[in-house]
């Protein structure tokens, strides 16, 4: 029995040190060295105060801000989940219909097709980006709420379009938090409350 237990305990201790201490420490050191901003949460600060993260979306409801993707978890950073509703589920159809109605009510003069990412939730529920089309769709509402020309809002949006990662991965996107901070900075006239 001693011949079996002793090697088992030694291996348990060894793999606990390797997998439970050494590997996580190595990954942490590499992440904090090579990806310091991301490893600490990509926190966005304004006047020394944390206002958000570029990695986790937030809910913006004021008409003078760009609205992000709907979230099945309400952008709760402690959890990540999609709604898991299939395309034939009546609850999904009802949620999409409600989102379309809310967007139309917020901007009744906008008759353009609504980009799909403004009416469907992301898989993680924490998506911090919208498509350039979704951001541009909202330009008229944002401009009216801020008392500026829609062209000025579109110019700010266009400056905040991020390209594909490494030039080939993903799609162009707009970070909602960064865009809204830029709108406050560049077009502060009648800046809304979140």
**Using an 8 Å Cβ cutoff, are 156 and 179 in contact?**
yes
Q: pLDDT tens for residues 102-161?
A: 999 999 999 999 999 999 887 777 889 999 999 999 999 999 999 999 999 999 999 999
Are 45 and 51 in contact, with CB atoms under 8 Å apart?
Answer: yes
In whole numbers, what is the pLDDT of the chain averaged over residues?
87
Residue 164 and residue 173: Cα distance in Å, rounded? 8
Domain segments of the chain: what residues?
A: 1-40, 41-186
Exposed, middle or buried by CB within 10 Å (0-12, 13-18, 19+), for 147? exposed
Please report which helix (H) or strand (E) contains residue 42, including its range.
none
Quote the pTM value.
Answer: 0.78
C-alpha 36/C-alpha 62 separation (Å) is 32
Dihedral (CA of 117, 164, 155, 151) sign: negative
Question: How far apart are alpha carbons 49 and 183 in whole angstroms?
Answer: 18
User: 41-46: long-range contacts (C-beta < 8 A, 24 or more apart)?
Assistant: 44/177, 44/178, 44/181, 46/181
Band (pLDDT 50/70/90 cuts) for residue 79 is low
């Amino acid at each position: 029995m001693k011949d079996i237990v002793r090697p088992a305990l030694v291996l348990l201790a060894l793999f606990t040190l390797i997998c439970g201490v050494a590997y996580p420490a190595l990954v942490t050191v590499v992440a904090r060295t090579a990806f310091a901003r991301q490893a600490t949460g990509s926190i966005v600060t304004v006047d020394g105060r944390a206002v958000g993260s570029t990695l986790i979306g937030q809910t913006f409801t004021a008409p003078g801000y760009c609205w992000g993707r709907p979230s099945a978890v309400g952008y709760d950073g402690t959890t990540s989940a999609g709604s898991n509703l299939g395309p034939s589920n009546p609850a999904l159809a009802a949620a999409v219909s409600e989102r379309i109605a809310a967007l139309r009510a917020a901007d009744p003069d906008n008759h353009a097709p609504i980009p799909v990412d403004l009416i469907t939730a992301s898989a993680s529920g924490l998506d911090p980006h919208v498509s350039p089309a979704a951001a541009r769709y909202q330009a008229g509402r944002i401009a009216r709420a801020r008392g500026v020309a829609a062209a000025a809002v579109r110019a700010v949006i266009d400056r905040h379009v991020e390209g594909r990662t490494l030039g080939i991965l993903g799609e162009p996107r707009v970070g909602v938090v960064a865009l809204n901070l830029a709108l406050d900075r560049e077009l502060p006239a009648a800046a809304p409350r979140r």
